[in-house]
A = this chain, B = another copy of it.
């Protein structure tokens, strides 16, 4: 599922082109890590954000991202994007919404595309944060597209055909976070919202 979500979101929703500038939030997550690797395979410049030093290291050292940063250490996200994308962002793969999306909008390039896969920063708020920079959709003619893998199950065979050679050749790696025993499930679920997991959070109930 995360693999197909990443495939659909990047190739079908973002219409990527070689050399484009790609930003991915929650980039060490189950979907984000694959989007980043797909974008690198296409010859894009790829930056990811995550919530810990360990995740940032994983993105840069294991998953081949050009750059990565810990969003919790950035007091001014707009300044961070200006630093990592002095020429602007063509594609934003959005897993978090909220303040990150708002700052990205300021830094998008003309004809940019934003795939909205999730908005995890907003799920547990009583009142969602307001996004104030939507005027940039008009200034820069940006497409912002929410999607669900549920609408795209029919391309699963195409996805498998695409993925298998890369996995066999070791050109795509996939990090999972496995906890043991059903009793670990609730803690693992809460951890998702705190950003404690690396990649797909799996609970092994046979342990």
Q: Which residues of A contact B (CB under 8 A)?
A: 97, 101, 111, 116-119, 122, 127-148, 151
A119-B146 in contact (CB<8A): no
With a cutoff of 8 Å between Cβ atoms, the chain B residues found around residue A135 in the complex are 97, 119, 122, 128
- Residues of chain B within 8 A of A117, CB atoms compared: 138
Our pick among B119, B134, B144, B147 for the contact of A97 (Cβ within 8 Å) is B134
Assembly of this chain: how many copies? 2
Whether A144 pairs with B144 at a CB distance below 8 angstroms is yes
Instruction: Tell whether, in the assembled complex, residue A145 and residue B137 are in contact, meaning their CB atoms are under 8 Å apart.
Output: yes
- In the complex, what residues of B have CB within 8 A of residue A139's CB? 146
**With the chains together, A151 CA to B142 CA distance in Å?**
12
Closest B residue to A114 by beta carbon equals: B144
Distance A130 CA – B99 CA, assembled complex (angstroms): 11
A138 CB contact (under 8 Å) in B118, B130, B137, B140: B118
Known contacts A131-B132, A140-B146, A141-B151; can you find 15 more A-B pairs with CB under 8 A? A97-B135, A101-B134, A117-B138, A119-B135, A128-B132, A128-B134, A129-B130, A136-B146, A137-B146, A138-B147, A139-B146, A141-B148, A143-B143, A143-B146, A144-B144
